[in-house]
Amino acid sequence: MAVEIAVLLLALILDFFISEPPALLHPVVWFGRLISLFEKVKFSRRKVEILYGTFCCLSVISFALILALLPLPYPASFLWSVYLLFSAISIRSMVNHAKACIINGLDRKAVQMIVSRNTDELSEEQLCSAVIESVAENYVDGVVAPLFYFSIFGVAGAVIYRAVNTCDAMIGYRKGRYEAFGKFAARLDDLLNYIPARLSLIFFEFLKRGAIIYGLKNNVKLNGCAISAISYVLGVKLEKPGHYSLPGKSPDAKDVEGAISAFIILSLLAAIFVAVITATRIVLLTKLQL
C-alpha cells in the first residue's frame, strides 16, 4: 500500500514543480507520434477505415500497456511508475495554459492553444467561456479520469486511459476524414470518461451545494458534466455557439481566475479521494489473499 501511495504523491509533486516532462521524453507525445504515423495510411471504404482506426487505437493502447509493464528491477520500476503517472496527469500545465490566456489581457492565440473552436470568430465573453470550459474538461481528462483508473488498476490504468484520450484528441472528430478513422477512439474515450465525468461532480459539490444535481440536469453533452458544474459554481454563462448555452452572467478574466482557483482545489480533492480509494483497494486485495 505504501508503495502505490508514494507513487501517487511523488507524481503529484513532480507535476507541481515540473508541470510536464520534456516533449522528447513524454509518453503522451509518443502516443501522438504513433497515431500520426498510422493516419498517413488512408482507405476509400468507410468500413475499412473504421476497422483500421480501431486497429490503430488498439495498437497505441498496447504500446501504453507495454510501457506500464516493463520488467524493470527495483528501484527502477518504482521510479518508472512515478514517471508514467506524472506524465498521465495534467494539473500544473492546465493552470499555466489558462493563466497565459489572461496574463496580459485576453490572448486569442493562447486561447486557441487549448480549444478546438476558431477563436477569431469569438467575442471576449466567448473567449473567456472557452477557457473556463477547457479548464473544466481538462479537470476530467487530465485529473479525475487518470487518477480514477490509477486507483483501480494502478499505473497501467492511468497510462492506458491517457493513450485512449490522446487518440480521441487527435482523431476523435465527427466530421471529415476522422469521422470513420477516429470513431472507435471517440467511442472508447466516451466510455472511459463516463464514470469520471460524473464522479467529478462530487468534488464540485464541496465548492457549492447543488453542483451534482445541476451538473446532471444541465449536462451539455455526454460527458460534459464538469462544464455545467463549473458554470453553476462560478455563476457564469458558458456558451459554445451552435451547440449549447448555460445561463449566468457574462464571464470575464476574473471568472477565468476563479475557474483556475477552483481547478486547483478540485484537483487536491480528487488526489485525496484517489489516495483513499487506492489504499482501500490494496487493503481489500491483501485480505482476500490471506
Euclidean distance between CA atoms 244 and 131, whole angstroms: 15
This prediction has a pTM of 0.93
pLDDT at 250: 94
pLDDT at 118: 84
The total of structural domains in the chain comes to: 1
pLDDT, one tens digit for every residue, the chain (290 residues): 578 899 999 999 999 999 999 999 999 999 999 999 998 888 888 889 999 999 999 999 999 999 999 999 999 999 999 999 999 999 999 999 999 999 888 889 999 988 888 888 888 999 999 999 999 999 999 999 999 999 999 999 999 999 999 999 999 887 777 888 999 999 999 999 999 999 999 999 999 999 999 999 999 999 999 999 999 999 999 998 888 999 999 999 999 999 999 999 999 999 999 999 888 888 887 777 76
- The one-letter code for the residue type at 169 is A
Q: What does R_g of the chain's alpha carbons equal in angstroms?
A: 19
pLDDT at 173: 83
pLDDT at 1: 57
Total count of residues recorded for the chain = 290
* Containing structural domain, residue 191: 2-289
pLDDT at 147: 96
What are 103's strand-pairing partners?
A: 105
CA-wise closest residue to 96 among 16, 12, 197, 24: 16
49's CB contacts (< 8 A; 6+ apart) are 42, 43, 180, 181
Euclidean distance between CA atoms 262 and 220, whole angstroms: 20
Q: What phi, psi does 244 have (nearest 5°)?
A: -160, 160
Euclidean distance between CA atoms 267 and 288, whole angstroms: 31
